[in-house]
Amino acid sequence: MNRRYFFTGVAAAGTIIGAGGALAHPPKTLPNYNLPEEILPQIVPIAAGLAPYQIHIDPDEFALYWTLPGNTAMRYVVGIGRPGLYEAGQFYIGAKKEWPSWTPTPDMIRRDPDAYARFEDGLEGGLNNPLGARALYLFTAERGDTFLRIHGTNDPSTLARQVSNGCARLINDQMVDLYDRVPVGTPVVLYPPRSGDL
């Protein structure tokens, strides 16, 4: 996968989506996160060359792009994998779940047993579940489920940071909006960082 940047003019030419709760499907059971304007989803122009209805994640910008017709995309601010845990590659959405349950992987338990061992039998879905309100499950043809997710979070302080065990996270209400747009089978590209040090 060649590292390409198709996203142009996002800071200057975005249309804010969601100010005042104007997401496509505003959830009724989630808190109002009162996010600053720069964290709200925006429709942004992108350079020609990307097919519509795909997900592209740029780790350097902490941005997830849901591409649309007419060289535009919906841009969401995300948290990404911590150094050494971010995995670039080409994936597809193999499953979708609302209020998913969560079980830490054996690698997560080995890396940090104090944080994860108590959840080895799993945690039911809910607002404080690490996967949040919705999750998109990343698969490849060779590996099947990669255990990487695009998921919700209840903690806005984790956005625009390297915080996760390899997954990408959006604040819950924005994750609900993305979830409603994205069908199973959607292509997903996680680009390598420019610096190569994630």
φ and ψ at residue 158, rounded to 5 degrees: -90, 0
pTM of the model: 0.85
**What pLDDT shows up at residue 23?**
45
Residue count (the chain): 198
Q: Which residue in this structure is represented by tokens 């080895």?
A: 120
| Residue 74: half-sphere exposure toward Cβ, Cα within 13 Å | 20
What is the second-level CATH architecture of the domain 15-190?
A: Beta Barrel (2.40)
From residue 102, give the alpha-carbon distance in Å to each of 43, 120, 147.
Answer: 31, 9, 11
From residue 13, give the alpha-carbon distance in Å to each of 8, 9, 16, 197.
Answer: 9, 6, 10, 29
* Cα distance between the two ends of the chain: 16
Tens of pLDDT along the chain (198 residues) come to 444 445 544 443 455 444 333 444 444 568 888 899 989 999 999 989 899 999 999 999 999 999 999 999 999 999 999 989 999 999 999 999 999 998 988 999 999 999 989 989 888 988 888 999 999 999 999 999 999 999 999 999 999 999 998 899 999 999 999 999 999 999 999 999 987 665
